[in-house]
């Protein structure tokens, strides 16, 4: 079933359809929040807050087919809120192993995620929206309120920076 139809059902009062939407998007939303906040715990908070907000505000989504982009925007906002809040409290140290999530992927994926975490905030954000949330450049431009041309060049620079970061990690490993 398309997102669009699930949104319509959820709006008609079927909470299970919203749960289906959540299950469909939660992994990539979590990955996005983790890339942005660089904290497993903050990512969990940001995603919970975002989904609760999405559930309440679902009626304000004008084009149900664009649920994916819409909920991405909400996650970016809740991540920013979490990051502002974090400025006032001592962050919990990141454990070397996943604790707030279960890693259900290839081993080298964790290394790739670590390399992403070394990038600048702007670069982590576009990488997450483009490859985790699988958004088109035009959608990312809308989510970030940034011209499409800027998004495009930011993605290119982010990929170059990521390749460089991966190169560094591989050199460290071979040393």
Which residue, 83 or 112, is less far from other proteins as judged by CB? 112
Let me know: does 27 contact 98? Beta carbons within 8 Å: no
Nearest to 33 by CA among 41, 156, 4: 41
152 touches other proteins (CB under 8 A): yes
Let me know: does 37 contact 43? Beta carbons within 8 Å: yes
155 touches other proteins (CB under 8 A): yes
CB 84 to other proteins: min, Å: 21
CA pair distance 11, 6, nearest whole angstrom: 8
Task: Using the rule CB under 8 A, give the single segment among 61-69, 70-78, 80-88, 131-139 that binds other proteins.
Answer: 131-139
Q: What is the DSSP letter of 88?
A: T
70 touches other proteins (CB under 8 A): no
38 touches other proteins (CB under 8 A): no
CA pair distance 163, 86, nearest whole angstrom: 29
What b/e string do you get for 17-40 counting C-beta neighbours within 10 Å, with b at 16 or more? bbebbbeebeebbbbbbbbbbbbb
Radius of gyration for the chain, computed over Cα atoms and rounded to the nearest angstrom: 17
The number of angstroms, rounded, from the C-alpha of 30 to the middle of its chain's C-alpha atoms is 6
Which residue, 86 or 87, is less far from other proteins as judged by CB? 86
Tell me, by CB under 8 A, how many residues bind other proteins: 51
**Sole binder of other proteins in the list 60, 106, 171, 172 (CB under 8 A):** 106
103 touches other proteins (CB under 8 A): yes
Task: Using the rule CB under 8 A, give the single segment among 43-51, 70-78, 88-96, 139-147 that binds other proteins.
Answer: 43-51
CA pair distance 116, 163, nearest whole angstrom: 10
- 3-class SS at 9? helix
CB 62 to other proteins: min, Å: 21
What residue ranges bind other proteins (CB under 8 A)?
A: 1, 13-20, 22-23, 26-28, 30-32, 34, 43-44, 47-48, 51-52, 55, 99-106, 108-109, 112-113, 127, 131-133, 136-137, 152-153, 155-156, 159, 162-163, 166
């Amino acid at each position: 079933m398309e997102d669009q139809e699930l949104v319509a059902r959820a709006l008609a009062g079927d909470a299970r359809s919203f749960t289906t939407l959540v299950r469909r998007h939660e992994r990539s939303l979590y990955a996005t929040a983790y890339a942005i906040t660089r904290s497993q715990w903050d990512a969990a908070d940001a995603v919970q807050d975002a989904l609760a907000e999405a559930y309440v505000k679902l009626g304000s989504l004008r084009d149900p087919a664009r649920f994916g982009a819409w909920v991405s925007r909400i996650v970016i906002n809740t991540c920013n809120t979490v990051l502002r809040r974090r400025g006032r409290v001592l962050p919990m140290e990141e454990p070397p192993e996943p604790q707030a999530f279960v890693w259900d992927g290839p081993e080298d994926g964790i290394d790739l995620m670590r390399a992403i975490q070394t990038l600048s905030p702007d670069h982590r954000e576009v990488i997450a929206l483009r490859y985790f949330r699988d958004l088109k450049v035009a959608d990312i431009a809308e989510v970030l309120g940034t011209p499409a041309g800027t998004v495009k060049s930011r993605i290119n620079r982010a990929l170059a920076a990521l390749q460089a970061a991966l190169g560094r990690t591989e050199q460290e490993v071979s040393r």
